[in-house]
Amino acid sequence: MRLHIIYDTEGWAYHRRALALQRYAPLGTVITFGKYTSLTPDARAADLVYLMAYGACRDVREYIGPNALLVCGYNVGAGYRRERYEELSVLANHVIFNNLGNWDCHNRPPNTTWISNGVDRKIFNPIVPLQDRTPLAISTGSQYHLLHNCDLKGVEILEHVSNKLRDTDIECDFRVVNSTRPPMTADEMAAWYNSATVYVVASRHEGTPNPALEAASCGCTLVATRVGNMPELIEHGINGLLVERDINSITQGIIEASQDYQRLAGNMQESIAHWDWSIRARQYYSLFQKLVDVHRSDKTEPPPICVTG
């Protein structure tokens, strides 16, 4: 099988996911990469094109032609950007929902599946023992979403949370990524996660979020709003805490998680092991192979397929 994966920016989440899929590709799979801003003939030569940057679906379809096999990832929160799915359902042969909540929100339509994102545990692993860590709550948000999407990631909320925690023994390191502060490398992110005990998700909508999976894999417990994959991963009170999206709920969640950190984080280590890309990639390639087999049998009009992840 010849697979062409299209991402957005090197070093960001889609690119790292593409590299993980390459690392765990089945024997005989030929993988090429490309950016959605610079499409290459590799896309036209592939048996299947997997587009992660779903906003470029129309451009990719026009480039590869109407008879090529196009699979789009749909990495958004439940009910968010519903109009995007309407476009994908017309232009793509198959759509992969990255979280169960959004798949259910759309009533699990035909020619779709749900496969959660994974985490590369060869990079993101607990180097610093849990018992040696001091209380530190961390999070990373987006300056773009703060300015243009009504603080989608909760940057302003976490600023108030940090102020409320000043009189406790819990330190906070809530960071904002923007064009003048590019993301850290994967190794730098892993070191940052290993310095912390709690990773906080204060988002209104999320497709995953990927930093939460990485932090959990590195030994953090999670305090998160009910977004993206968080309800799939977090067992409330067992390996992390699910909280409401308000200052007091998040603050109290951080305090409770810090007080019970070693138990929660230890349980999270058992949970996150099942999200490793070495396991998750099998679901992607199983789906890809089924779609390619059907497409080869009838390239002009593939019959509907619904594969549950």
Mean pLDDT of 200-229: 96
pLDDT of residue 181: 52
Residue 146 pLDDT > 80: no
Using CA atoms, how far residue 274 sits from 119, 201, 257, 268, 280, in Å, is: 9, 21, 22, 10, 8
Mean pLDDT of 27-42: 95
Mean pLDDT of 220-242: 97
Kindly tell me the burial class for residue 291, based on how many C-beta atoms sit within 10 Å of its own C-beta (0-12, 13-18, 19 or more). Answer: buried
Residue 149 pLDDT > 80: no
**The listed CATH number (3.40.50.2000, 3.40.50.2300, 3.20.20.140, 3.90.800.10) that belongs to domain 2-118+276-297:** 3.40.50.2000
Predicted confidence band of residue 309 (pLDDT cuts 50, 70, 90): very low
Residue 148 pLDDT > 50: no
- Look up the CATH architecture of domain 130-274: 3-Layer(aba) Sandwich (3.40)
Whether omega for the bond prior to residue 209 falls within 30 degrees of 0, making it cis, is yes
Beta strands in the chain (DSSP E): 2-7, 30-35, 48-51, 70-74, 94-97, 112-114, 136-142, 171-177, 198-201, 221-224, 240-242
Report the C-alpha gap between 128 and 51 in whole angstroms. 36
Mean pLDDT of 29-40: 95
Mean pLDDT of 226-235: 97
Mean pLDDT of 204-231: 96
Residue labelled with tokens 């992390």: 240
Mean pLDDT of 208-223: 96
Beta strands in 10-107 (DSSP E): 30-35, 48-51, 70-74, 94-97
Cβ of 287: how many Cβ atoms within 10 Å? Answer: 21
Using CA atoms, how far residue 23 sits from 6, 133, 210, in Å, is: 16, 32, 18
Average pLDDT over the chain reads 92
Cβ of 90: how many Cβ atoms within 10 Å? Answer: 10
For residue 178, the 8-state DSSP code is B
Report the C-alpha gap between 113 and 100 in whole angstroms. 9
Domain with CATH 3.40.50.2000 in the chain: 2-118+276-297, 130-274
